[in-house]
Amino acid sequence: MIFNYCTRDEARQKNLKHFFTGIPCKNGHVTGRLVSSGDCLSCAAIARKKSKEKAKGVPVARSARLSSPPGPSAEQVARENARIKKLNREVTQDLNEYLKKAFGIEFTLPVL
Ligand SMILES: [Zn+2]
């Protein structure tokens, strides 16, 4: 988006929705601002995204991590590993029971 330099008052007089002063906002964005609130458009877009995610039930803390490289967090990896371990244990136990019933043998598979 290209913004022509104008002050908030000028934009208001021209009935524009945006104005651009070239002065960075408190978060360092050099972009247009809304005449209505004076908010930087980038900040407004971020706030909109956050409230959208909040409405969807996505924790705000997660959106803060979006700028970091994609991939599961250490917490997610630990949870997934625990889930797989539990699944393996259940499958192994089931198999042991099946072998015992079907063949009458006690066959012990290593429980992972
Ligand atoms: Zn901003």
- Quick one: pLDDT at residue 63? 58
Q: Indicate whether 105 pLDDT > 80.
A: no
Q: Indicate whether 23 pLDDT > 60.
A: yes
Buried b (16+ CB within 10 A) or exposed e, 69-96: eeeeeeeeeeeeeeeeeeeeeeeeeeee
CB neighbours (10 Å) of residue 8?
17
Q: Indicate whether 43 pLDDT > 80.
A: yes
- For residues 112 and 57, give the distance between their C-alpha atoms in angstroms, rounded to a whole number: 35
How many domains, the chain? Answer: 2
Q: Are strands 33-34 and 18-19 parallel, antiparallel or unpaired?
A: antiparallel
Q: Does the residue 92 lie in any domain?
A: yes
- Computed over every residue of the chain, the mean pLDDT equals 83
Quote the radius of gyration of the chain (alpha carbons, Å).
28
Percent of the chain with pLDDT over 90: 46
Tell me: do 63 and 24 sit in the same domain: yes
- For residue 47, how far is its CA from the centre of ligand 1 (angstroms)? 10
- For residues 49 and 21, give the distance between their C-alpha atoms in angstroms, rounded to a whole number: 24
- Quick one: pLDDT at residue 58? 66
Residue 69: pLDDT band with limits 50, 70, 90 = low
- For residue 71, how far is its CA from the centre of ligand 1 (angstroms)? 27
| Domain enclosing residue 15, as ranges | 8-67
- For residue 106, how far is its CA from the centre of ligand 1 (angstroms)? 68
Tell me: do 75 and 107 sit in the same domain: yes
Strand locations in 4-111, DSSP E? Answer: 18-19, 33-34
Tell me: do 41 and 14 sit in the same domain: yes
Average pLDDT over residues 11-27: 93
- For residue 67, how far is its CA from the centre of ligand 1 (angstroms)? 16
The residue among 88, 94, 95 whose CA lies nearest residue 111 is 88
- For residue 56, how far is its CA from the centre of ligand 1 (angstroms)? 24
- For residue 50, how far is its CA from the centre of ligand 1 (angstroms)? 14
Q: Does the residue 13 lie in any domain?
A: yes
